[in-house]
Amino acid sequence: MTSDLLDCVDRSLAAERAGDAIAAREWHDKVPQFAKGRQRGILATLVALGPEPPEWVWARWIAYQTARCEDGSTGALTRARLQVLGGGFHNDLLEACFREQGDPIRVAAKVMGESWLYHQLVVHEDRGLPLFVDEFATDRLAEHAQLARRWVGAPMGGFELGASRPGARLRVRDLAEDEWIDVLDLGARACAPDGHAIGRLVPSGLGEALMFDMPPLGVPAELAQLVATRPDGGWVRVLEAWRARGRMASRHVMRQDYELAGDVLGLDVVRFGTHPRDLPRVRQQLREGRDEVSRASFRILERARLGEIEASDQAYVAAAVLNVRAFDDLCRRRPQAGDAASWAHWAQLVPRPARGRLAVLADR
């Protein structure tokens, strides 16, 4: 990479830490090596949300930047955590790398980018979140850091995920307290096919409503119950014990997707928005690099417009309308009779920022 391109990388990073998604994306797009990748998609989503996304989106963006930081004291913390995980929970990745004479740096990049466990440990257990804010957040990012600071100290929990309720609320049973509560429904059920998950409930900034700090990790009911009894650091030993007994591996905590504006991951959008008979073909095309998430998002929105999706699945509609390409494609189409009422109906069911995007479609 040339010095000019490295300068673009530095400028993009500085813009992110200042909370300027537009400038960050402009500098990021100047680097040919970044033509594809998660970061490009995340910046595109942030730009599309406009200058005032909900405070919880700001908090998630700060947490995401914390986990990616490689500079200063925060960077020293992330490198130390990568070293521990590389020799511990994710040592199978490193061993495979050595057998294949690969590059250990790629293993570190994979863990940093895809490991749910790494993210949780760096941001919370290692207290990287407040360290990053104090060390690097400037301008608008610093101005919107208050909610992120309130997330510090949130314990890990085990949960049973129940039904969606009106007002974009999800019924969740805290297994430690054996108590059902309502949390902001951003689509966490999609993360847990068996109905149980581990994660952290944090303030959403929307009244007293809680939310998951990032999409939770779906796990067996037994593991969720064990984690619920060991919230303060002990949950990590529970996962390590499961791994030692062969009941968990690296792949169980790895995610190719990362979402800031919801809990429905791209792969789940593809599953929900694709006919079962077409799913093997579509998944193969996705592996080959085709943008099947946008196509599935568009299909979901078409079904929502026609009233073919249940209200309880509002989180999929919210995830679909937040897809930049699908939303733009829909805006280019001529509105049809009944569209306004349909989009207004869905706008009442989903939380911000998806609500605003659906309101735009209704206004058209």
In whole angstroms, what is the distance from residue 164 CA to residue 124 CA? 28
Q: What is the pLDDT of residue 293?
A: 93
Q: Is the confidence at residue 24, as pLDDT, over 90?
A: yes
Interval 223-236 mean pLDDT: 88
Q: What is the pLDDT of residue 118?
A: 95
User: In the chain, which residue ranges form alpha helices assigned H by DSSP?
Assistant: 3-17, 21-28, 38-49, 55-68, 72-86, 91-99, 104-114, 116-120, 128-136, 139-143, 146-151, 221-228, 234-244, 266-272, 279-287, 292-305, 314-321, 324-331, 339-349, 354-363
Helix, strand or coil for residue 180? strand
Question: Domain limits of the chain?
Answer: 3-148, 155-253, 266-363
pLDDT over 70, % of the chain: 100
Q: What is the pLDDT of residue 104?
A: 81
CATH no. for 155-253: 2.40.50
Q: Is the confidence at residue 361, as pLDDT, over 80?
A: yes
In whole angstroms, what is the distance from residue 282 CA to residue 287 CA? 9
> The pTM is what?
0.93
Q: What is the pLDDT of residues 171-202, one digit of tens each?
A: 999 999 999 999 999 999 999 988 999 999 99
Interval 231-243 mean pLDDT: 88
